[in-house]
Structure 1
Amino acid sequence: AKSGQVPRAALDAKVKGSGTDTDTPDELDWRDMGAVTEVKDQGALGSCWAFSTAGNLEGQLFLSGSQLTSLSVEQLLECDSSYDVAQGHADCGEFGGWPYLAMQYVIDAGGLRSDAVMPYCAGIGYGQEGYCIPCMPEGYSKALCGDYDDDDQIPLFCDESTTLGQGPAGYCSNADGVAVTINDWKAISTNETTIAAELAATGPLSIALNAQRLQFYKSGVYNPSSCNPDNLDHAVLMVGFGTDDIPYWTIKNSWGTSWGEDGYFRIVRGTGACGVNTAVVSGLI
């Protein structure tokens, strides 16, 4: 996520529920039910928000009766310049973004393509097979995203008539070949019992948290002694929950399979650890 405060007002306006506490199992793992694609690696870019969004919509697409399909993170990076002035947040391509804004982009754009049609290339190491030059979506907000000129990181804007990006000409201005469309998006309340019920009822959920110390995680249930829940800087995908002496959430990261528990981590459930409960959203097909 683009580091910042919880966009509470924007999320509260979209809180909806479908699960009930009485329907919630003691443990759940959507991987076992085939609703989660393979772990990806975002590379050196701040593209976690796009992976989190795509992961949620992959689950929603599968649970609607379609084949499990990896969706295009690259389309979100190159085409989504959504912003929320009231909250001071924006989707800033490789420099970060917010899943709740990306959900609205998918609605407005008419859908999201598959990764096969528009593969992730901006985060692949320079010179490696499949690499493309990272570029910024038209409408990129310097006011909300920052002006990187001072760091000699002048954003290149995605030129739809060239091969800077991975889509065909005009890919940001039309909805040709989309794999999924959504009608709306919802936010879940911060109550973790409600989140568990919603996860069980509707599939994997897009979340954001404070990941300041997460790079040191190896395995087990992450139970940080200090972690600011009000400053979110990383978006991931919640796929399950259970208990291993203490209750935990199972979460899919986008740092490759060599990190954590084969690309996943578990974090203590029920304490609001690292703000894991503060920005939970899902698309609605």
Structure 2
Amino acid sequence: MDHFLTFSLLSLLLSFAAAGDFSDDQLIRQVVPEEEQSVNLLNADHHFSLFKAKFGKSYSDEKEHDYRFSVFKANLLRAKRNQLLDPSAEHGVTQFSDLTPTEFKQRYLGLKTPAFLESAQKAPILPTNNLPEDFDWRDKGAVTGVKNQGSCGSCWSFSTTGALEGAHFLATGELISLSEQQLVDCDHECDQDGVCDAGCNGGLMNTAFQYTVKAGGLQLEKDYPYTGRDGKCQFDKNKIAASVANYSVVSVDEDQIAANLVKNGPLAVGINAAWMQTYVKGVSCPYICSKNRLDHGVLLVGYGAAGYAPIRFKEKPYWIIKNSWGESWGEDGYYKICRGQTHDICGVDSMVSTVAAFQSTSE
């Protein structure tokens, strides 16, 4: 994309944003010229066949197959638009390419708003002068393997367990995999506005931490395995494996987020997932991504000083995000999103929580 087109797109983005409240997808469609949206669909049949084989897709009948093919072609166009406005990442075919944006949101997102309990404790301000240039809790053994929430809006539970798994590792030196299904089945905690954790219908990380405090802790995943469906609570307090000592809300300041990450372990984060349905790899740094539409719970595990973005001719510092859509999505299940120069892109700095763990009380 040349500099003139970049300037023109940014000017259009600003004019549309000033005119009213648009969704990210509406803005993308309006600011990208029709000729730029076009994509060669002559080989769409071939690409759809590869897609079905790679992701094991099958459909109930010819009508469903034809409908999904039409959605797939629409998503090829959408990926093309996304590529134009997020050139430092690669966008294309993913396992979600046969889903409409609405279906994707209903099945794979699930973060509720408002984001925080008013009573949530604020994390203390930490020194930031000696932060490492690059940091990754995966290298230190504090992060379990990438999990898969399936078509259940339980992202919030994976963000919660990931943060507590890291905190438990810091407290005990032991990495364990905790039960998301316990939260899906048993956690119905509500915030002061009556927004409640509701299994596959969504929830909040802070209310999940509040539930965990009240319940006494979470069981191991192997003792309470994930089903990806709402079920009857089977919690056994005698099998608690990790417990929450306290949790708090981190400042939106990026240096404070980095300091809390380094000191306290992986952080529970909310994000606007508008660009994630078509994300393949690279550092995502879209020209537009609202910080006011957080809809997905993820885990912040690290950061890097420089992810090379050749189209923008400079290195891009980034956050490292663990997702819960399996290893076949993104960079082996991870998402890189820019930090630093573009403050709070996609709201990644807006909803951040840290948690501390007690040592396990289980046998």
Give the shorter-chain TM-score range: 0.7 to 0.9
Match of 1:278 among 342, 346, 350: 350
* Contact 2:284–2:336 (Cα < 8 Å) also in 1: yes
Deviation at 1:89, TM superposition (A): 2.6
- Counterpart CA distance in 2 for 1:276 and 1:222 is 12
- Counterpart CA distance in 2 for 1:175 and 1:20 is 38
- Percent of matched pairs sharing the same residue: 42
Task: Evaluate the alpha carbon distance shift between residue 111 and residue 100 of structure 1 in structure 2; reply closer, same or farther with a 3 A threshold.
Answer: same
Q: Deviations over 1:116-148 (max 9, x none)?
A: 110111x2xxxxxxxxxx335xxxxxxxxxxxx
Deviation at 1:4, TM superposition (A): 4.8
Match of 1:217 among 249, 262, 279: 279
* Contact 2:165–2:178 (Cα < 8 Å) also in 1: yes
Task: Evaluate the alpha carbon distance shift between residue 208 and residue 219 of structure 1 in structure 2; reply closer, same or farther with a 3 A threshold.
Answer: same
Alignment of 1:169-184 (within 5 A): 171=235, 175-184=237-246
- Counterpart CA distance in 1 for 2:112 and 2:173 is 35
Deviation at 1:18, TM superposition (A): 6.1
Are 2:254 and 1:192 aligned? yes
Q: Deviations over 1:129-181 (max 9, x none)?
A: xxxxx335xxxxxxxxxxxxxxxxxxxxx2x5xxxxxx3xxx2xx52210001
Question: What is the SS of the residue equivalent to 2:243?
Answer: coil
Question: What is the SS of the residue equivalent to 2:241?
Answer: coil
- What is the total number of aligned residue pairs between the two structures? 239
* Contact 2:165–2:176 (Cα < 8 Å) also in 1: yes
Alignment of 1:179-258 (within 5 A): 179-243=241-305, 244=307, 245-258=315-328
- Counterpart CA distance in 2 for 1:9 and 1:254 is 24
Deviation at 1:83, TM superposition (A): 0.7
Match of 1:135 in 2: 230
Corresponding letter in the other structure for 1:10: E
Deviation at 1:33, TM superposition (A): 0.3
Q: Which runs of 5+ in 2 are unaligned?
A: 1-108, 308-314, 358-363
Question: What is the SS of the residue equivalent to 1:186?
Answer: strand
Match of 2:174 in 1: 67
Q: Deviations over 1:36-79 (max 9, x none)?
A: 00000110000100000000000011111242110000000000
Match of 2:146 in 1: 39
| Alignment RMSD (CA, Å) | 1.7
Question: What is the SS of the residue equivalent to 1:214?
Answer: coil
Deviation at 1:16, TM superposition (A): 1.2
Match of 1:107 in 2: 213
Match of 1:20 among 127, 137, 147: 127
Alignment of 1:143-182 (within 5 A): 158=232, 167=234, 171=235, 175-182=237-244
Task: Evaluate the alpha carbon distance shift between residue 120 and residue 192 of structure 1 in structure 2; reply closer, same or farther with a 3 A threshold.
Answer: same
Corresponding letter in the other structure for 2:230: C
- Counterpart CA distance in 2 for 1:276 and 1:176 is 37
Q: Deviations over 1:165-219 (max 9, x none)?
A: xx3xxx2xx5221000112211100011110111111110010011022111111
* Contact 1:20–1:198 (Cα < 8 Å) also in 2: no
Instruction: Return the TM-score normalized by structure 1.
Output: 0.80
Question: What is the SS of the residue equivalent to 1:266?
Answer: strand
- Counterpart CA distance in 1 for 2:217 and 2:242 is 5
Match of 1:50 in 2: 157
Instruction: Return the TM-score normalized by structure 2.
Output: 0.63
- Counterpart CA distance in 2 for 1:135 and 1:185 is 26
- Counterpart CA distance in 2 for 1:106 and 1:38 is 22
Q: Which runs of 5+ in 1 are unaligned?
A: 124-133, 137-157, 161-166
Q: Deviations over 1:74-105 (max 9, x none)?
A: 0000000011133x532111111110110000
Deviates more, 1:248-257 or 1:238-247: 238-247
Corresponding letter in the other structure for 2:170: L
Are 2:118 and 1:10 aligned? yes
Corresponding letter in the other structure for 1:242: G
Deviation at 1:284, TM superposition (A): 1.7
Deviation at 1:8, TM superposition (A): 5.3
Question: What is the SS of the residue equivalent to 1:281?
Answer: strand
